[in-house]
Structure 1
């Protein structure tokens, strides 16, 4: 589907990406790889974690899609337990990278014999000429804000729009691809900033939500 400067595909990212050409930036929040067990009383009264499991958002993703032959820069969210695999992969292919943090002011009240998930990591890696953009105040590697409510778009891991606006500002170039588009928050931020956006989402329900949101932004 084409909406203004956006091209949106409902399908498998691994099948579709090779035919879509080169982009200035990959900006994505792929499925995390973590143990989605436990939660105690919290889990009984809130369905977010069960929805994550039902939609396979705890099964990780194939990091081979992060390819400098297709993307000049990459911003990818990752669980703490994925960083030991993701960082060496990026370091071997891109000129530099930075680990950035979203500090949640309303984290889930669980720990599961770990730390409370009040921090989410994203990594920005780039080739020569595609270093972080924006004013100095926009180049901070941390951002503070609330997690978006699940009920807003019936998706358990929606990123705050203001966070994605900051990330798009930090991204050099004119074209942005998100192969795990979800409900389209990255696309909304990209379109608002005048970028060309290509998004892929395999879940038809979330794809429809993304189309509505991006059409409204366009």
Structure 2
């Protein structure tokens, strides 16, 4: 891929940071993503000994395809922070990042992801309340929500009336999906349709949910995914998705600094 080329309506199969660094500044309207959570490094959720109970048949026990989800915590936080900084670089001045993550207890202490988002312009935290969950730790209650950080550039605004949704959203987790940790299309639809964004980037595309929602809404997508297996899964889902409205034409596939 050449420098200053944005691959519209494509998923680039590759490592997130090297690929992101080839994208031009100020070229996407919105970033919507949910990264790997580094769950296998956790001390508090039972995945270290998954030979019994509900984790026994959980796909995440084996990690993701091409990624085992088990980095040293400091390395993981630094990696995620760097990805977010690159996403800020490629965002237009009226853009925003919706960054879905999960709080967890590590060594008896709450990790609130401050070591990932610490110097970024977090404007709001949205609570995604989901049904179900697993908790093997008797030291705290079953977590039933995840957090979405709205990291916004100064000129970012929602479309009229979208602010009436409030900051607690309830969506059932995606069940009919072979990816080990998918999120629901309806959640991403809520985010994208609340903006006028025409080009939506997901640097951890997974099974293609962000692209599916973007296509349904007649928007353009750009994806990055390290796993060839998930890239193929995403492309198949996108091919089977019908657009509900006509996309606005984007005249520039290449951008200049």
TM-score (norm. length: structure 1) = 0.83
2:174 is aligned with 1:148: yes
Name the CA shift for 1:53/1:116 in 2 (closer, same or farther; >3 Å). Answer: farther
The answer on 1:102 being equivalent to 2:128 is: yes
Q: Give the deviation of 1:138 after TM superposition.
A: 5.7
95, 98, 101: which one pairs with 1:75? 98
SS in structure 1 at match of 2:200: strand
Seen in structure 2, the aligned counterparts of structure 1 residues 216 and 16 have a Cα distance that, compared at 3 Å, is same
2:144 counterpart of 1:118: yes
Residue aligning to 2:15: 12
Whether the 8 Å CA contact 2:80–2:116 is kept in 1: the answer is no
Query: Considering only CA atoms, is the larger Rg found in Structure 1 or Structure 2?
Result: 2
CA separation of 1:172 and 1:25: change in aligned 2, threshold 3 A: same
Contact 1:8 1:200 in 2 (8 A): yes
**2:93 aligned with 1:63:** no
- Between the aligned partners of 2:181 and 2:204, the Cα distance in structure 1 is 12
- How far apart are the structure 1 equivalents of 2:58 and 2:102? 20
Q: Residue 187 of structure 1 corresponds to which residue in structure 2?
A: 211
Flag the structure with higher helix content. Answer: 1
Tell me the residue number matched to 1:26.
31
The answer to whether the Cα contact below 8 Å between 1:27 and 1:176 also exists between their aligned partners in 2 is yes
Mapped to 2, the partners of 1:194 and 1:138 lie a distance apart of 23
Name the CA distance, whole Å, in 2 between partners of 1:52 and 1:115: 25
For structure 2, the 5+ residue unaligned runs are: 1-7, 104-110, 243-257
Supply the distance in 1 between the matched residues of 2:55 and 2:173 (Cα, whole angstroms): 17
- Provide TM-score, normalisation by structure 2: 0.72
Corresponding residue number in structure 1 for 2:249? none
Which range is displaced more, 180-189 or 96-105? 96-105
**CA shift for structure 1 position 146:** 1.6
Q: How many residues align?
A: 207
How many Å separate the matches in 2 of 1:172 and 1:101?
A: 22
Distance in 2 (CA, whole Å) between partners of 1:19 and 1:161 is 28
SS of the aligned residue for 1:73 comes to strand
Unaligned runs of 5+ in 1: none
